[in-house]
Structure 1
């Protein structure tokens, strides 16, 4: 969540809401007892995860939204990477970056912390659209500072990693949702590592330390991708309510974007 990278983009990428990100899981996941979650009893009186149709519809809805988000983000990244006038404009006007970051932060906190807006149509889709556009702008601007070949390489690696992790998470018997404590420790390690790098970066850039941080970040959010994927399945220790399709898509989308940006920091080559 906290990112520190040695590139020409503004420093706002280094202060993502780590603790809020974790607390949102606590509020939106449910523990199973006798086949039903401990939260949302009233809703699950009629529908349960034992109903395969409910589960399939929920998962299909999440991945449909996620696919649209990723296509929008990919389009923005391609525009900022291949179109030189657009690339020059966004790099010359960092004010749009800060505005996008403010919008991203506000919409993220609203969707992650407030169950009302993210569950009620059409406000949930409106907020998610605004969030996706702002995050796409941030990702596109970051990509514009890297060599085109590096961006394409990192996109390919991210796609392969995310596809593999998703398939593995659906097939494996290992329950990643029971490892919340481990994930929290790793997230805090990443958070404080980012703070240290943010403090050191203005004085001295340490390439090997930055590389270690990027590897750690990519690893942590790969685990979070497996965690978030299994939250959708309904047959694990923790599970999302079928009402939380916006929250499910939001989490997986962020995991994929973070994995891409950490790969970009690790393998990317800055433009000359």
Structure 2
């Protein structure tokens, strides 16, 4: 409680002007507090994305790094560790997401390990495909974010999307497993990428709506992780489509 009071005071002093408009019609809390929370979440996401870009750029540009991971048994083992590390870190991160500074340390490990995995994926992809995916991802994220804020202001609610998106994600995971054992070829990969892109576009709207209305002030880390994963998964889905089309 004391932390929340201090956090609210800091946010009002740093960003609240006293005349902010409610983000949505049924809003009962102070708009300054919610805007302060939203700014904090997007600041964390921005740092995560910059770190991901920086690490990914190093992995892509320094060729010995990528060759080490694919040309040696030790490199392959490290690559597998890097892939599973974000999933492992998510468990303690969820448990400690309100405990400072442990939450930031775990968030840093999660982001850097995932950035290495993304960089290795991009290392064997043409620059044109990466650029196309980045541009389209940025355009889609900005557009969907602006739309969600606009819709929330007019009383629209996207909480109903949760069960549908979860079910669609389960289907997507099963489809990916089928692809591993029974490859469907270029068309199958493109279908997978398109379906995944639509699902994560839905998740961006859903999680942004939760950011506006439902996340508590001490859940800034978990809110940032949710939206960061949505953006990264959308990028990887678009990368899959462009890679298949470029073959």
Q: 1:260 aligns with which of 230, 235, 244?
A: 235
Deviation at 1:80, TM superposition (A): 2.1
Q: 1:224 aligns with which of 203, 207, 230?
A: 203
Q: Name the Cα RMSD after superposition.
A: 2.4
Task: Figure out how many residues of one structure are paired with residues of the other and give that number.
Answer: 220
Which residue pairs with 1:80 in the alignment?
Answer: 59
Contact 1:145–1:270 under 8 Å retained in 2? no
Contact 1:166–1:226 under 8 Å retained in 2? yes
Distance in 1 between residues matched to 2:89 and 2:245, nearest whole Å: 30
Unaligned runs of 5+ in 1: 1-39
User: In proportion to residue count, which structure has more helix?
Assistant: 2
Deviation at 1:126, TM superposition (A): 0.6
Distance in 2 between residues matched to 1:154 and 1:88, nearest whole Å: 23
Distance in 2 between residues matched to 1:96 and 1:259, nearest whole Å: 25
Rg (Cα) greater in structure: 2
Distance in 2 between residues matched to 1:130 and 1:216, nearest whole Å: 29
Contact 2:161–2:202 under 8 Å retained in 1? no
Deviation at 1:271, TM superposition (A): 10
Calculate the TM-score normalised by the size of structure 1. Answer: 0.75
Calculate the TM-score normalised by the size of structure 2. Answer: 0.82
Distance in 2 between residues matched to 1:269 and 1:222, nearest whole Å: 20
Question: Cα deviations across residues 2-56 of structure 1 (Å, max 9, x unaligned)?
Answer: xxxxxxxxxxxxxxxxxxxxxxxxxxxxxxxxxxxxxx9xx79xx7951112101
Unaligned runs of 5+ in 2: 9-26
For residues 1-272 of structure 1, the aligned pairs below 5 Å read 50-92=29-71, 93-112=75-94, 114=95, 117-172=96-151, 173=154, 174-201=156-183, 205-234=184-213, 239-268=214-243
Deviation at 1:180, TM superposition (A): 1.7
State the SS of the aligned residue for 2:125: coil
